[in-house]
Amino acid sequence: MATLERKAVRTEDTWDLTPLFRSWEQWELAFSGLEGRLSEIAQYKGTLTESAERIEAAFRLYLELSRELEKLYTFAQLNADVDLGDSKHQGYVQQVIGLHARFATEASFFTPELLSIDDALLQSFLADPSLVDYRRRLEEIARYKPHTLSEPEESLLARGIEVFGSAQKIFSQLNNVDLSFGTVSVDGKDEPLTHSTFVVFLKNSDRQVRKRAWEQYYRAFDSHRNTIAASLTASIKRDVYFGQVRKFPSSLERSLFADDVTPGVYNQLIDTVSANLQPLHRYYELRRERLGLQSLQLFDTYLPLVKDVRIEHSYEEAVDVIIEALAPLGSAYTTPLKAGLTTGRWVDRYENKGKRSGGYHSGCYDSPPYILMNYKTVELNDVFTLAHEAGHAMHTYFSVQSQPYQDHNYTIFVAEVASTFNEELLAEKLKQQFRDDKKLLSYLVNQQIDDIKATFFRQTMFAEFEKLTHEHAEANRPLTLDYFRETYRQLLAKYF
């Protein structure tokens, strides 16, 4: 079936963004209103050392403006992500990013001025009851003291916000809009090859179908290999630049600092996984033997080892089985989640042309949690993806209910606990459901093994690739297409 244009998607299959803004006209009014208020923060410049009350008033205004900016960005970005070829929506996103840069420039005095306060005086301010709601934020600012620049330098960096995000933007547009993969013939019928259907082809029992889909998919990327390499180079050099400017020993340390995690944790993960790859290698050897192949190729690694099993769920059926699986978490969890996944329209459900690939959770303090999906009935993986993103959504839902705006965000280091836990509950639910059917049970165990491969081993490989490429750049060595390919090839050989 052909991939739909966005305008052909049913309203009930899309997310409802009206809790943010009811129309673009309302958004534009809010944008203009915020734009006119940005300079208000300047009234506190040079006065933060005067009193705790002055700091409290400045924080209150800063967070009020930040919160409105977040609403504007969320509405624009979510509209853009469902049709990345819509230049109007892309323009709105650029407008908000530009507004963010101007706000950051106006407020660039804030952190340096707070850090200029004498430690004894700052401690007395922290003890003041008027700052109790901002104590955590102040402590976090103090933690960044060695990595905070002067006000003019912070202002200069703030002005570059739009430029510094260009590498990711370039790749996103190429990946989600410009690339075209054509069709793959299956049983004499041409089926569209997209980001969303790629894995479906790789699970086809016909090895030639898998091979054609694999080669055709990556041929599209290969035709833009130099553009992709240049975009990746720009992204890495940006990370290195900020690591150096912020006076971190490395870009890795800067990246982890926000979550208060040391490089030792990151390196220990890579070292531990590297020392324990034997089970993964044995699994691939078992896979080769079970499939009766002389040589296992990457396009053979997605095919289920248990043949002739189809576990299909419509979106509505997926919601039902997820809610049943999450019952141990209680009705306070499952009732709002079920409403959000159905009538509340938290989810943009299916693939359409120009839609961002994959799945994610997003939203802001003043909106419901939103989930982007490219759901397919034939993919059990998509049921797990929905359960995973629902974990993030409910984490945010309860955090917003329990915390003030300035404290509601959580780190990526803990975020995946809520999401992967949901996947485990779903897996246990399905295994209980099919416990008397040895074939279906084996299929689910195979699915879990492949999830461990993807979540634990493959993600660690990506982490090692990032570490190696950033260290290469920090050693002032050239980042070239050949270097990226050879480094990635060696990691594939090591892990798989």
d(CA 420, CA 373): 17
Distance CA 104, CA 158 (A): 5
Cα–Cα dist 423/457, whole Å: 17
Please provide residue 43's backbone torsions phi and psi, each rounded to the nearest 5 degrees: -65, -20
- Report the phi/psi class of residue 312: left, alpha or beta, with left for phi > 0 and alpha for psi in -120 to 50: beta
Q: Are 373 and 392 in contact (CB under 8 A)?
A: no
Q: Is 389 one of the annotated active-site residues of the chain?
A: yes
Q: What is the sign, positive or negative, of the torsion defined by CA atoms of 184, 186, 190, 192?
A: negative
Dihedral angle of Cα 369, 347, 345, 63, to the nearest 10 degrees:
20
Which residue type sits at 81?
D
Do the beta carbons of residue 248 and residue 147 sit within 8 Å? yes
**Which residue among 106, 113, 351, 389 is the active-site one?**
389
Residue 463 in contact with residue 269, Cβ under 8 Å? yes
Strands 183-186 and 189-192: antiparallel
How far is it, in rounded angstroms, from Cα 419 to Cα 393?
9
Question: How far is it, in rounded angstroms, from Cα 224 to Cα 220?
Answer: 7
Residue type, 193: L
Torsion, Cα of 57, 61, 62, 63 (10° steps): 100
What is the distance between the alpha carbons of residues 354 and 202, in angstroms, rounded to a whole number? 22
Residues sharing a CB contact under 8 Å with residue 444, sequence separation 6 or more, in sequence order: 427, 430, 431, 434
Q: What angle do CA 248, 107, 413 make, to 5 degrees?
A: 45
Residue 248's contacts (CB-CB under 8 Å, 6 or more residues apart) are 147, 254, 257
CA-closest candidate to residue 351, choices 19, 77, 81, 16: 81
Distance CA 102, CA 96 (A): 10
Distance CA(234)–CA(165), nearest Å, equals: 10
State the catalytic residues.
389
